[in-house]
Chains A and B, each alone.
Chain A
């Protein structure tokens, strides 16, 4: 399976690839170049172009997208299907954009529709990397924290994962790869701890 990842950074991409492979139980192939958005606000704008590019000009099989929730609304299982989509939920927004674009694509004979998976790291990927290490790294617990939507929590998570809130690219990459590999080993626990943000992503992948 040829997998494309749309992410904010190389380390996010590396982690997502490992997680997708872990859920699928196979090793996916990369399609170059990797696609990037510089931050959440770019994702809805970039996603249509990425989907059209992949559909018309590549033989990619699947696209995986993970975004951080930061201070936005967190995803809920009740948000799907479309009738329950929450306009403030980043994951729902991306799904709506993807559906609209994919429904408008011209079918290509022999080309299967691109498979997609969307995940929401609450509040940031660092929280996932702490799953199984820090008992507080649970989606529901993080959402309930008084500082849930503040920069302070994201700083704390970085401190806990990297030992600093200004980690180098190298450190971020090592932590992302090692962390994602560890999460694959405890994938059931990980999905229980992050049922909405990661659970949705995993269910998307299993439906491929």
Chain B
């Protein structure tokens, strides 16, 4: 697990540290570096994704680098990975380990951390991509915008029928108007999916489903795939979803992060999500350690874990967390209007 990420000279993230836990929800105004932070994490595993000239803080001196420093925790506690992008286009990644780590173990650990970093995924679901029919290929994975969902579901049905059935049951709890995911083959062998309605057993093609339904299904599928990425970043997973369904979205994310609570045997996934929804934020009132406020201070950005504020309970009192955030008393709001 990554416990914290330091950023230097990366767009709005001039010099700031993002604290992370098994699950982290980041809230803040537009332009406060939430998405930049997620993309920087992704780039730490695939450094070619970032181009210095596009990511360097505006006005950065010619001798300064862009740096992303990852502080590892858990079984990798004490390890620090430095990812650096230079103005001449070079990029370097290096991991330092605790002095007590034997030399022959260093390479093994380096490989493990590289594997984790290269497997980081960002998801920003988009309804048309989720609904699009997809060719069937071996080992299909869910695309960052939700593409391949039909293929991933089809694969799940064949390879893990019990999981697929459980997903169907959960879908029926989320959206009682539907009871079953079905498939159809399109021209060229592309696979599409449909949802069968509980009443009348009508088959609704993916392309005819609402945006919220498609995003909910993509979220649910991500939570049910047997081998999710070790670190999952979710851009506004609540987008398009009715506020009363947000608890289920939270459930899906917790299924990834706290698999032991859901009868899952796999390792926990580190989840980092962003939101602009006060309703969604409300759901985390009992876990302020999972909430990070991104605050714009002039040209700088500061990340602060809510539980690190000693006065948080006094400030909140009876106020809903989302209301308090919206009001501005917690920071993380636009300076204008």
Contact = CB atoms under 8 A, between A and B. Distances in A.
Given A38-B320, A71-B317, 19 more contacts: A9-B247, A36-B244, A38-B243, A38-B282, A39-B282, A39-B285, A39-B320, A41-B319, A41-B323, A151-B313, A154-B286, A166-B254, A166-B287, A167-B261, A168-B261, A168-B262, A169-B247, A169-B251, A171-B261
B258 interface: yes
13 contacts: A9-B247, A36-B244, A38-B243, A38-B279, A39-B320, A41-B318, A72-B318, A151-B286, A154-B286, A166-B258, A168-B251, A168-B262, A169-B173
A48 to B, nearest CB: 18
Contacts of B19: none
B248 interface: yes
Contact of A40 (B247, B261, B318): B318
Instruction: State the main secondary structure of chain B at its contact with A.
Output: helix
Contacts of A39: 282, 285, 320
Nearest to A41: B320
Interface residues of B, number: 23
Interface string B224-267: 00000000000000000001100110010011001001100000
A20 to B, nearest CB: 22
A164 B261 contact: yes
B322 interface: yes
Interface of B: 173, 243-244, 247-248, 251, 254-255, 258, 261-262, 279, 282, 285-287, 313, 317-320, 322-323
B173 A170 contact: yes
A165 interface: yes
B326 to A, nearest CB: 12
A27 B162 CA distance: 36
A155 interface: yes
Interface in A20-43: 36, 38-42
A134 B316 CA distance: 31
A170 B263 CA distance: 12
Nearest to B321: A39
A139 interface: no
Contact of B286 (A72, A165, A169): A165
Nearest to A11: B247
Contacts of A165: 286-287
B318 A70 contact: yes
Contacts of A42: 320
Interface in A119-172: 151, 154-155, 164-171
Contacts of B282: 38-39
6 smallest CB-CB distances across A and B, nearest first, come from A39-B320, A164-B261, A41-B320, A38-B282, A168-B251, A169-B251
Interface string A35-55: 010111110000000000000
Contacts of A70: 318
Contacts of B251: 168-169
A166 B318 contact: no
A169 to B, nearest CB: 5
Contacts of B261: 164, 166-168, 171
